Structure 1
């Protein structure tokens, strides 16, 4: 009976399916890129601690997959060495490859996954510098969002 009431108040089918790329550790600081399927606008959410289940601004995680890991240099100023510049690289590539009318499956198959994997691969095997490094997992997170934008508020999950 309680589950029926919950389904009436919070139906699972309501919302808009989408996906985000998340760089960082769940349970810690993460940086997020969301390419809106409707219009190709890119939202960036960064520097927020995220619980183990992604919930942010009305978006709720449905599933996730780890695409790989990227090692970036801490405190190094080269163009592709910081987390923010890594995400700038991914955002620019996403923007250039987006075309209107793409389904979520097409976005994931043709843009999200190949762009992220290419950016990860590009940074593997580089000459090591003396600067300290940190390795971050990169996730593709499928979400259901209640509004057009994800970046409308702080993380809202209380589930850990």
Structure 2
């Protein structure tokens, strides 16, 4: 009886998910694209830290990193010409196209599953969309003497404190 009482207060419910994280050079900030597994909403946001040198794991808005998979790097022209959220805009468009062709979120709703499996979300949508966007930029010719920055792109598996959006009840996008 006492152990059940303790479990009520000590057990933390979590809602697993995954996101694409683009690490800005020098660790100044991160850009994030998250597909909400419960409804397919795509949210993008950027996170700025006051002490970037200490940031090794993603921990924002109740979402805590469990593991990370490096997908590659992307070379973009230095600000103000290109930026990480612009790259994520391309990833978003590719993810939406994949989601429309697969119809996995409408299938999950029909089956009353409540949410799409995170591994399916990663393997069928997030990873292909990010890799396609990275590969699309690989062979391009950059202007001579252009200032460029290399961004690291990763899939980050997280546990959210509750189902739904990571950065609040309403999706926020700064795109």
Fold conserved between structures, TM > 0.5: yes
Deviations 1:74-95 (A, max 9, x none): 1364xxx432211101011112
- What SS does the aligned partner of 1:141 have? strand
Q: Partner of 1:132 in structure 2?
A: 147
Larger Rg: 2
Q: Rate the CA distance shift 1:128–1:113 in 2: closer, same or farther, 3 A.
A: same
Mapped to 1, the partners of 2:10 and 2:85 lie a distance apart of 35
User: Following TM superposition, by how much is the alpha carbon of 1:11 offset from its aligned partner in structure 2, in angstroms?
Assistant: 3.2
Q: Partner of 1:121 in structure 2?
A: 135
- What SS does the aligned partner of 1:131 have? coil
Mapped to 1, the partners of 2:8 and 2:65 lie a distance apart of 20
Q: Rate the CA distance shift 1:134–1:9 in 2: closer, same or farther, 3 A.
A: farther
- What SS does the aligned partner of 1:84 have? helix
Normalised by the size of structure 2, how large is the TM-score? 0.73
Query: Equivalent of 2:160, from 119, 141, 145?
Result: 145
Q: Is the 8 A contact 1:75 1:131 kept in 2?
A: no
Deviations 1:1-48 (A, max 9, x none): xxxxx9874536x21110010001585311000001111101111152
- What SS does the aligned partner of 2:96 have? helix
- What SS does the aligned partner of 1:123 have? helix
Mapped to 2, the partners of 1:111 and 1:61 lie a distance apart of 19
User: Which runs of structure 1 show a deviation greater than 6 angstroms over 4 or more consecutive aligned residues?
Assistant: none
Mapped to 1, the partners of 2:147 and 2:9 lie a distance apart of 49
Q: Which has the higher helix share?
A: 2
Deviations 1:91-145 (A, max 9, x none): 1111222231232111111111111111111111211213200001001000000
Mapped to 2, the partners of 1:10 and 1:70 lie a distance apart of 42
Q: For residues 101-116 of structure 1, what are the structure 2 equivalents within 5 Å?
A: 101=108, 102-116=116-130
Root-mean-square deviation (Å): 2.3
Aligned residues: 144
Mapped to 2, the partners of 1:94 and 1:150 lie a distance apart of 18
